[in-house]
Structure 1
Amino acid sequence: MDFTKVKENEKKSVLEKKEIVEKDFWRQKYHIQGIVGLINDPNGFSQFKGKYHMFYQWNPLGTNHKNKTWAHSVSSDLLHWERMETALRPDTWYSKDGVYSGSAIVDDEKLYLFYTGNVKDSEGNRESYQCLAVSSDGENFERWEPSIVNQPDGYTRHIRDPKIWKKDGKFYAVIGIQSENLEGKAVLYSSENIKDWKFEGEIAGANHGKIKDFGFMWECPDYFQLKDEKTGKIKDLLVFSPQGLEPEGDLYNNKYQTGYLFGKLDYEKPEFEILSAFVEIDRGHDFYAPQSMEDDKGRRIVVGWMGVPEDEDFPTVKNEWIHCLTLPRELKVRDGKLYQEPISEMISIRGEKIEFEDFVKGEKEIGKGKTYELIAKFSDISSDFGLKLRVGRDSETVVKFDFKDKKLVLNRSCGAQSDKSVRKVFLGDIKDLELRIFVDNSSIEIFVNNGEEVFSSRIFPLENADKIIVFAENETKVKLEKWEWK
């Protein structure tokens, strides 16, 4: 196969489409997005030589899931990102049909990328290769021949998305895989030298241990530990994106899901002993394949893809681009529950501020804005109440507490997106509610009660939709602070 035109085709596509993409009023202000084309999974999230590095799946040639490269952006503050040269392209025999997802690790003053090379034959049969690339400067990468060729016995060719870490001088990686019974699994590999890898065994999966029927594939697994801020105990977490779950009431309403298990990883067996139920990380319409890293401040930071596989009917496609990543979040555990908080750096982009404090009954417009942060505190609760954001002709995004059902509801049905469904989460009997909301040109991210629950969804209001309205059926005390983004 002739790989010489891969880079040339990328450059040509960017030049042809960049102007129309940049004119789109739905382009994001503080979210990572592709120059043109499609992006999806965050990859190789790391910190190296004083910079945060984010790689991500990118198709520069179109808005479908083909021609996958690893795009590359760097930042000093996780908010202002500089686009770098594409790090990895499908220009090797072991990645000719796509450079698929993976992770990164810094070791011995070098940055290593561990990724999946995808190969298909003329009949569509797949081969998967787990591969490494290494850099001394964080910009130029030397690619190595595959370290793991295809799959161990008992599994299909669906093996991908290695997440790498180091413990006691030894390297480990958890990889998503599918069994021959078409069940999603997570397997563990180990290496003494980062180049040669040994299959240790299956650590979790559908119909494995306490987990019963739970999807036909587990993608983008992530393993890490956090200290419980209440109890001081170390918690092991396994995060993954199962495919094939059926909706159950308010749960699993996206095409595919992402969530976590608390447990304990036994490296010797190996086994991830499950100590909790599976919990969805995000309750919104658009969240998948998150990747976390620990930075030099000791924070566990996570970024997800603000999209879902096989859900591509977005109005930006006509303007030659689709999808973005979420804003970075800090993960914490409090009393056995995972919380997500906006990173502290978000304060640095706060611009002009407006404040509102009063009792509200009915509707009241309290300001305008298209890209902003909003903190809303509600008390004296006795009825339905909430916010209408990006309000205008044929546009509004509604965040409402349903007093009878005791649920927070996100309704984005009045907008240009084709999916008009709502998303809900049960909050129970509450006396007060705090929402911290981040609104960009085509997204909303809602942090409920200090990140106990989170909603991430793309929204597509018309260009001039900018009103902010607060409402309540019965008189409700409301305090709002809103900052336009700089």
Structure 2
Amino acid sequence: MNSLMLIIVILLPLCFGADNYSWYPTFHFSPPKGWMNDPNGLSYYNGYYQAFYQYNPYDTESGWMHWGHARSTNLLKWEHLPIALTPSLPEDIDGIFSGSAVVSDGNLILMYTGVSGNSTHQAQCLANSTDGINFDKLGLVLKKNGSDLNFRDPKVWKQGDSWFVIIGSKTDDDRGEVLLYQSLDLKSWDYQGVLAQADETLGYMWECPDFFTLGDKQILLINPQGMEQNGYDYQNLYQTGYFVGTWQPGEQYIIEKGFKEIDHGHDFYASQTFLAPDGRRILIGWLDMWESVFPERQEGWAGMLTLPRELTLSLNGTIEIRPIREVEDYRTEDVVSNNSVTLNDDSIFVLKEQVTSNEIIIELDPVKSNASTYGVRLGDEDQGVFVYVDTEKQRLFVERSYPQFNISRSDRSVAVDLSNPIYLDIFVDSSSIEVFVNDGESVLSSRIYPTELQRSLAVFHSEGSVTVNKYSIWNI
């Protein structure tokens, strides 16, 4: 590739529509224009966090995929760089699909899936950069024996003297699986076998696999396609979740805890993790879903990424998920109350009139409340997003309704313990909400599309009373 000049795009809110209002985010990563989906190549190189992503710069629909590229010093404020990878080789002429990045001998190496033959052939390719901005393609390095129609999304890491890569695939009888390969030089790869494989309930294809260590356990993160809804679980078109187990090179992966969703909202898929320089395991996902409506297309862009999250392993062997601590540096105090508030009858309590880019921490007290449902809402009684406890079902729900944008009323939920206060850390941006529950217990991420008249944040409840122990609101 020819040397490209560094381009810094300062992201400013766009102005569209009769009310001169935009859904372009303030503190979430989105493309400058066009379509984006999966985060790719998350890494740290030359003093910057690096984020690549599936990108169609020519349309607000998924199409001829490139790798967009941005970098950041703090994971919150990003500068856009030139497109890193454009289809050009026989092996990737139909698109640059997902992949990962590693640092080797001072260079930033990208491993990605190249697509050809009208997307019927998928193979793994390399690209190299000595500056983190310009990339030279090194070509094809790994093909699958037999059918290569579903063979994509390599995640690479180094362990000991060897490189390893896992790749999403499917069996001949339509069950998802993850394949494992080993190399000494990132170019010549030896097949090590199947790392894990789906049973009849876990989908026909596993996309965007990730494999990493938390504590003394190895986590396999996958994105199954084709899982059926099971009660409150697996309600989206596709899922993202993980197994907990143990593994060493040359041994089988022993799964100790079965598949568990890692995010329970309407919009979360194709997440990827990486190690920060301080050792934190950071996860970023696509804050959308393939069946989403994407009303922001009218503004010339579509898709966004989640707030980065830190992952830790709890004592009971489940992943705890918290927003990265860097967000605290961007808090501007707005409303803080450490006084308990109790609402009776059908009254509501307005916390803030206009919420556009805010963090809201609120503690609800089930023991002191006797309403059957209670929580907070952004909007009015009929339209908006509602985060509430249903005491009969013993669950916390995120429910949204934007019929003017063909988003019908629907909900997602997690179980909660009503014998203790429920602590919510809620991030609201121009077109998204992320609800972190009980300091790492769970998270629900959804896209929202409020107008300026649907930005009032209030506590609401059914008949009876609700007690809020404390709350804080910051501008971000």
**TM over 0.5, yes or no?**
yes
Over 3 Å counting, the alpha-carbon distance change for 1:382 and 1:186 in structure 2 is same
Structure 1 position 396, deviation (Å):
2.1
Match of 1:127 in 2: 121
Match of 1:330 in 2: 310
1:396 partnered with 2:369: no
Match of 1:376 in 2: 362
Cα deviations by residue, 1:75-102 (Å, 9 ceiling, x for unpaired): 0000000000110011222111110000
Letter in 2 for 1:365: V
1:86 partnered with 2:91: no
DSSP 3-state at the match of 2:326: helix
CA contact (8 A) 2:21 2:452 kept: no
Matches within 5 A, 1:471-486: 471-473=460-462, 474-478=464-468, 479-485=470-476
CA contact (8 A) 1:413 1:422 kept: no
1:179 partnered with 2:160: no
Matches within 5 A, 1:288-307: 288-307=269-288
Match of 1:441 in 2: 430
Match of 1:162 in 2: 154
DSSP 3-state at the match of 1:347: helix
Measured in 2, the distance between the counterparts of 1:69 and 1:459 equals 27
CA contact (8 A) 1:54 1:72 kept: yes
DSSP 3-state at the match of 2:139: coil
Structure 1 position 37, deviation (Å):
1.4
Matches within 5 A, 1:103-252: 103-121=100-118, 126-149=120-143, 151-153=144-146, 156-207=148-199, 212-227=200-215, 234-252=216-234
Match of 2:10 in 1: none
Letter in 2 for 1:366: L
CA contact (8 A) 1:185 1:217 kept: yes
CA contact (8 A) 1:394 1:414 kept: no
Structure 1 position 299, deviation (Å):
0.4
Question: Which of 50, 54, 77 in structure 2 is aligned with 1:57?
Answer: 54
CA contact (8 A) 1:258 1:289 kept: yes
Letter in 1 for 2:465: E
Measured in 1, the distance between the counterparts of 2:388 and 2:376 equals 8
Question: Which of 295, 319, 323 in structure 1 is aligned with 2:299?
Answer: 319
Cα deviations by residue, 1:434-468 (Å, 9 ceiling, x for unpaired): 00000000000000000211000000011332211
Q: Which runs of 5+ in 2 are unaligned?
A: 8-13
Cα deviations by residue, 1:126-152 (Å, 9 ceiling, x for unpaired): 111201111111011111110012x23
Letter in 1 for 2:466: T
Structure 1 position 394, deviation (Å):
6.3
Structure 1 position 24, deviation (Å):
5.6
Over 3 Å counting, the alpha-carbon distance change for 1:37 and 1:51 in structure 2 is same
Letter in 2 for 1:91: S
Structure 1 position 426, deviation (Å):
1.6
DSSP 3-state at the match of 2:322: strand
Structure 1 position 266, deviation (Å):
4.1
DSSP 3-state at the match of 1:316: helix
Structure 1 position 107, deviation (Å):
1.8
Measured in 2, the distance between the counterparts of 1:117 and 1:443 equals 31
Measured in 1, the distance between the counterparts of 2:56 and 2:178 equals 27
Letter in 2 for 1:152: N
How many percent of aligned residue pairs carry the same amino acid? 35
Letter in 2 for 1:260: Y
DSSP 3-state at the match of 2:185: coil
Structure 1 position 385, deviation (Å):
4.5
Over 3 Å counting, the alpha-carbon distance change for 1:388 and 1:432 in structure 2 is closer
Measured in 2, the distance between the counterparts of 1:427 and 1:180 equals 40
Match of 2:326 in 1: 345
Letter in 1 for 2:106: E
Measured in 1, the distance between the counterparts of 2:260 and 2:101 equals 26
CA contact (8 A) 1:178 1:216 kept: yes
CA contact (8 A) 1:214 1:242 kept: yes
CA contact (8 A) 2:122 2:148 kept: no
Measured in 2, the distance between the counterparts of 1:238 and 1:99 equals 24
Over 3 Å counting, the alpha-carbon distance change for 1:475 and 1:20 in structure 2 is closer
TM-score by length of structure 1 reads 0.89
CA contact (8 A) 2:39 2:286 kept: yes
CA contact (8 A) 2:128 2:135 kept: yes
Structure 1 position 371, deviation (Å):
1.2
CA contact (8 A) 2:125 2:139 kept: yes
Letter in 2 for 1:263: G
DSSP 3-state at the match of 1:317: helix
1:462 partnered with 2:442: no
TM-score by length of structure 2 reads 0.91
Over 3 Å counting, the alpha-carbon distance change for 1:472 and 1:205 in structure 2 is same
Structure 1 position 202, deviation (Å):
0.7
Cα deviations by residue, 1:396-426 (Å, 9 ceiling, x for unpaired): 2100100111000111124635243111112
DSSP 3-state at the match of 2:247: strand
Structure 1 position 353, deviation (Å):
1.8
Structure 1 position 68, deviation (Å):
0.5
Letter in 1 for 2:220: L
Letter in 2 for 1:246: E
DSSP 3-state at the match of 2:153: strand
Question: Which of 384, 387, 394 in structure 2 is aligned with 1:406?
Answer: 394
DSSP 3-state at the match of 1:276: strand
Letter in 2 for 1:73: A
Measured in 2, the distance between the counterparts of 1:43 and 1:314 equals 21
Letter in 1 for 2:191: F
Measured in 1, the distance between the counterparts of 2:148 and 2:126 equals 22
